[in-house]
Amino acid sequence: MKASAVTTSVFALAVGAILLLSLPAWSDEKEGKEQKAAEMAKTAKVTIDQAIKTASEKVTGTVIEAELEHKHGKTIWEVEIVSADGKVTEVHLDADSGTVIDTEMKGAGRKHEKKGKAK
């Protein structure tokens, strides 16, 4: 029974060491994403509040996420909205003009609308 307890302890220490050594890599990756997002936020003329308002006018439902991304060759706001029937739609807005670029049903792999205009 002592050999089994020692083996279990050694295994637990090995797993802990592996997790501990890989933690800095996860941390560095997160910092890189946060820094990139901060840089995009500095250049975006449209605020997150404006993006959410415009997206909510385009798609009915509850906003569950809004983030800056680089898609369509430019910085965009991607606002995710869940409808009453549980379907999630992404609304992509130009971060400079606030114009709706398109809407996309999440998981469906197809775009519903292209080149929408927002005021």
What confidence tens digit (pLDDT) does each residue in 17-59 have? 455 555 555 556 767 778 887 888 888 999 999 999 999 999 9
User: Dihedral of CA 81/85/87/89: which sign?
Assistant: negative
pTM: 0.64
Q: What is the pLDDT of residue 73?
A: 80
CA–CA distance, 32 with 36 (Å, rounded to integer): 6
